């Protein structure tokens, strides 16, 4: 199943049995978000480290900055693991908040989606550490 699918799975609900007529739906994105936030802090830190390493490898290969979707593609090529965009976005947000990655004050087209994006890059101090 693709990470960005919005297939909804019906979940039994007491409201339907009590005459409420409603059925609760949980999207695959809801399930993925719950699984992501259910990871231990150690696992989250390891994923942040792997994602940052891929970003830095790309910088060293001549890629100046990246979109989150470009980073996801590079992560897949490097590790063989396909990660959903919500996990990539959350992790990048955490790296930005932690001062390890920065958002640039420029707009450019994403090579994957073609949309205007604000690219990210590892801060120079992080690039020197890896």
- pTM for this model (two decimals): 0.68
Percent of the chain with pLDDT strictly greater than 90:
54
| pLDDT tens string 69-94 | 999 999 999 999 999 898 899 999 99
Q: Residue 2: its pLDDT value, please?
A: 38
Smallest CA-to-CA distance from 111 within 77, 66, 72, 59 is with 66
Give the Cβ contact number of residue 53 at 10 Å. 16
CATH 1.10.10.10 boundaries in the chain: 40-129
Percent of the chain with pLDDT strictly greater than 70:
66
- Contact between residue 112 and residue 76 where contact means Cβ atoms under 8 Å apart: no
More confident residue, 130 or 46: 46
Task: Assess whether pLDDT exceeds 50 at residue 52.
Answer: yes
Q: Please give the CATH number for the structural domain made up of 40-129.
A: 1.10.10.10
| Mean pLDDT of the region 38-61 | 87
Q: Residue 128: its pLDDT value, please?
A: 58
């Amino acid at each position: 199943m693709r990470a960005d699918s919005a297939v909804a799975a019906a979940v039994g609900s007491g409201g339907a049995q009590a005459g409420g007529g409603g059925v609760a739906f949980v999207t695959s994105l809801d399930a993925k978000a719950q699984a992501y936030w259910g990871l231990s802090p150690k696992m989250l830190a390891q994923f942040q480290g792997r994602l940052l390493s891929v970003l830095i490898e790309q910088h060293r290969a001549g890629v100046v900055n990246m979109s989150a979707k470009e980073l996801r593609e590079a992560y897949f090529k490097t590790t063989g693991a396909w990660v959903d965009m919500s996990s990539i976005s959350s992790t990048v947000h955490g790296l930005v908040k932690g001062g390890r990655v920065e958002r640039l004050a420029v707009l450019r087209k994403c090579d994957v989606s073609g949309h205007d994006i604000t690219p990210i890059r590892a801060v120079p101090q992080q690039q020197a550490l890896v």
